[in-house]
């Protein structure tokens, strides 16, 4: 098997893990562990594993002083706000809603890049933004009684804010990825973010009745903390290193598809006409937003 094929398998595996995470999170929160407490578990395990990986292959461990502020901002947007609001929002809404709304991240990246980086806003991008926003609005305003969300509207809002925060992270982290290796950046972003997440979620984490957790629930927690937080990040980094960010980024389109199939069987959600229409608008919008004008119909340029 060539490295090229392995990289494609890594990308699709990462997105399959992320997709399964939408349903698995709902199996353990808030019934077993509350959302912010779950985030504490995630970052503690991930930081431990990232530094363990470093000890296996030591390199330059530090951060240049001029980059410290950007690392802190990236930790706040990419780890703290992103993860806290994602888990909390997902605990309130449905897996399908969350997966479709998370697909809005590339749309928000475009808006942020136009604002911060002064990138050109083309006709394709404007049309894509309008379609994606229309799909998101349709999904949010339509009442959904087919899943197990307790407050779908509020949960959807939190997932959207999470997507915006992650969009800021992906724009702001670009210079760091050019100055350091991706693993180095992730290790420090997780390390700095873990301090803030522990402060926010320690109370909920301390309330967990660990002795009452069943074997299946431990497996679910392990999947969330190791698979969907540490392993999936590594798979994406490996794919980006071999295929580039554009090719790897296209696999994000598989996430809502995988998430919907898994949610139907795992949590009893249903595929409705409204969800299909919303998905069509969002998919088309994201595609147009990321299409290069000189490569119309040919490729997607993802951050």
* 291 compared with 73, residue with greater pLDDT: 73
What are 268-302's pLDDT values in tens digits?
888 888 888 988 888 888 788 766 533 333 332 33
Domain limits of the chain?
Answer: 3-295
The percent of the chain in helix, strand and coil, each rounded to the nearest 5, is 80, 0, 20
For 95-112, give the DSSP string: HHHHHHHHTTHHHHHHHH
Q: What is the C-alpha separation between 189 and 179, in angstroms, rounded?
A: 14
Tokens, residue 118: 């002064």
Predicted pLDDT at 298: 31
Q: Which of 46-55, 107-116, 125-134, 187-196 has the lowest mean pLDDT?
A: 107-116
Q: What is the mean pLDDT of the chain?
A: 85
Select the more confidently predicted residue: 161 or 267.
161
Q: What is the pLDDT of residue 147?
A: 61
Nearest CA to 126 among 289, 275, 242?
Answer: 289
Per DSSP, the residues of 122-154 read -HHHHHHHHHHHHHHHHHHHS---SS--SSHHH
How far is residue 262's CA from residue 251's CA, in Å, rounded to a whole number? Answer: 17
Q: Is the pLDDT of residue 95 over 70?
A: yes
Say if residue 115's pLDDT is above 70. yes
Q: What percent of the chain has pLDDT over 90?
A: 40
The confidence score (pLDDT) of residue 158 equals 94
CB under 8 Å to 84, separation ≥6 — which residues?
35, 36, 39, 197, 200, 201
The whole-number pLDDT of residue 271 equals 84
- Of 126-140, 172-186, 219-233, 283-297, the least confident: 283-297
Cα angle 288, 167, 296 (rounded to 5 degrees) comes to: 15
């Amino acid at each position: 098997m060539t490295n090229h094929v392995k990289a494609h398998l890594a990308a699709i595996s990462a997105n399959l893990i992320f997709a399964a995470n939408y349903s698995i999170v709902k199996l353990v929160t808030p019934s077993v562990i509350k959302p912010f407490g779950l985030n504490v578990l995630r970052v503690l395990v991930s930081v431990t594993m990232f530094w363990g990986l470093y000890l296996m292959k030591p390199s330059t461990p530090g951060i240049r002083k001029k980059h410290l502020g950007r690392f802190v901002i990236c930790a706040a947007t990419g780890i703290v706000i992103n993860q806290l609001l994602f888990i909390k929002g997902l605990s309130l809404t449905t897996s399908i809603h969350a997966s479709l709304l998370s697909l809005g991240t590339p749309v928000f990246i475009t808006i942020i890049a136009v604002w911060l980086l002064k990138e050109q806003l083309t006709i394709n991008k404007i049309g894509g933004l309008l379609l994606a926003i229309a799909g998101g609005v349709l999904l949010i305003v339509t009442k959904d009684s087919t899943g197990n969300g307790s407050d779908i509207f509020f949960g959807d809002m939190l997932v959207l804010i999470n997507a915006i925060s992650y969009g800021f992270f992906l724009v702001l982290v670009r210079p760091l990825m050019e100055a350091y290796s991706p693993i180095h950046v992730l290790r420090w972003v997780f390390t700095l973010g873990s301090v803030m997440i522990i402060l926010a979620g320690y109370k909920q984490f301390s309330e967990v009745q660990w002795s009452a957790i069943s074997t299946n629930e431990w497996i679910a927690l392990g999947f969330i903390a190791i698979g969907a937080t540490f392993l999936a990040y590594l798979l994406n980094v490996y794919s980006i290193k071999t295929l580039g960010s554009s090719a790897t980024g296209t696999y994000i389109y598989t996430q809502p598809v995988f998430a919907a199939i898994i949610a139907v069987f795992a949590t009893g959600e249903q595929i409705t006409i409204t969800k299909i229409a919303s998905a069509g608008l969002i998919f088309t919008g994201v595609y147009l937003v990321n299409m290069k004008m000189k490569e119309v119909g040919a490729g997607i340029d993802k951050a």
